[in-house]
Structure 1
Amino acid sequence: MSTVSTRSTGARTSDDRVRRTLDVTRSLLLRSGYKRTTMDEIARRADIGKGTIYLSWDTKDDLIRTLVIQEIVGVCQDISRIAVLRPAVARLSEFSRELFTLVFKYPLFRALYTYDKETLGRACDDPQLGFQCYRFTTFTPFRDYLRMLHESGMWDPSHGFALDALLSGFIKLHLHAEIAGAKPDLAAHADSLAGLIRSSFEPADQVPAEELTDPARRTVEIFDGAAAKYRAKLIPQPLAASV
């Protein structure tokens, strides 16, 4: 049977159920946390039979993993799009500015980065996600990006720990200010981070802007490839039955 035929009403309903289930689960996790987000509560709020949810996800952890992977994919896709539009993002300082901003755009990605088990539960330790808390330098696409910078003479690998420490410090302080209700200026903090990384880690003789085309292209390839690999980890989500 062809997979490019016109979609039926049932298929659209299935997609609606998937979207509703994911949206409700994300909302509950962020508001109530992992322990209070139950499959019963998800089903009730999404107005979907619990048995229908189990057609796609065996456990609550599988459902949460789907949400986290979606956000990782979103981060990778955003970086790729930005690098297409602004080749200067190939520089570590500009890249870090964008990454810092994306951490606060994607709350479940941030919870994974900060090892927030109260929000994500077991997903924080899920080997399928390939992520170590507070260590962007071990995150495969970021590691590949840094390797590319090193090959281009734009990064010294011996600075990896210092880079992780600087990134995590900025993210923690900004997050704590948000929690305290201080309404910190995200753009200003991103600018400060970029400035410190520029002065601390980038070579004094900067690669001219006109020579950033190839590093930017490789940045796009790295994060497009990472998005595709993470997308392949997503569990199929039929939700075709109505219970």
Structure 2
Amino acid sequence: MAAMITPPGAGVKDKKRAILEATLAVLRERGLSGLKMEEVARRAEVGKGTIYLYFRDKRDLLKALVEERTWAFYREVEEVVRRKAPFFVRLEEVLRRRLAWVQEWRGLWAAVAREAMDDPTPWLKGLHEHYLRLLEELLRSGQSEGAVRTGLSPRATAAVIAAMGCTPSLEVEAYLEHLMEVLRKGVEP
């Protein structure tokens, strides 16, 4: 019987992922003020010292969590943007995922980012810039297929869509339906 060979670095990635997932679970249950490294270690099934092999301190752990969850979301969005489907189908899917991501964080994202850094503004803008570029790409493809007016600036329209799709004030499905109607028809009579 041949021995199973684990690829180099696989255990490291698994432990790091377990720590990040445990951190998110603790944040959801106890909030930022209830985040204790001992609890993260227990949930990740690692020793407390193991956390410090991957992260300098709690701030470094929180920053890594925001980056990991944000880039995972961006990879999902990129896949949808580049899919062969009509513009409005892709736009609705991007917004559906955006609303799910916002709901997942339930207001924790900004607090975690602030806790992770003294001034997270440039770092957060850098992360958000990638999302805006993906929306611009989606809008340009919509213009190419004739679904979006060519006179609209993809950059400005991307910024509007990004702002609209981040704070639902209604039940998510109702919000998404209304948002899509506004985007399809515009606001002119």
Note if 1:149 corresponds to 2:147: no
Note if 1:191 corresponds to 2:187: no
Corresponding residue for 2:63?
65
TM-score by length of 2: 0.67
Q: Partners in 2 of 1:170 and 1:99 — Cα distance?
A: 9
For residues 1-243 of structure 1, the aligned pairs below 5 Å read: 6-7=5-6, 13-88=11-86, 91=87, 93-107=88-102, 110=105, 116-117=110-111, 119-123=112-116, 125=120, 127-130=122-125, 139-143=129-133, 145-146=135-136, 149=140, 154=150, 156-157=152-153, 160=156, 164=160, 168=163, 171-174=166-169, 177=170, 184-186=171-173, 188-200=174-186
CA contact (8 A) 1:26 1:67 kept: yes
Query: Is the alpha carbon distance of 1:115 and 1:156 closer, same or farther for their aligned partners in structure 2, counting shifts above 3 Å?
Result: farther
TM-score by length of 1: 0.55
The offset of 1:199, in angstroms, is: 1.7
Q: Partners in 2 of 1:63 and 1:31 — Cα distance?
A: 17
| Alignment size in residue pairs | 176
The offset of 1:155, in angstroms, is: 5.6
Query: Is the alpha carbon distance of 1:95 and 1:47 closer, same or farther for their aligned partners in structure 2, counting shifts above 3 Å?
Result: same
Corresponding residue for 1:205?
none
Give the root-mean-square deviation of aligned CA atoms: 3.9
For residues 181-223 of structure 1, the C-alpha deviation after alignment (integer angstroms, 9 at most, x for no partner) is xxx352x43232122112228xxxxxxxxxxxxxxxxxxxxxx
Q: Partners in 2 of 1:48 and 1:58 — Cα distance?
A: 16
Which shifted more, 148-157 or 48-57? 148-157
> Any stretches of 5+ residues in structure 2 without a counterpart?
none
For residues 13-32 of structure 1, the C-alpha deviation after alignment (integer angstroms, 9 at most, x for no partner) is 54442232111101011221
Opposite residue 167 of structure 2, the aligned amino acid is K
The offset of 1:100, in angstroms, is: 2.4
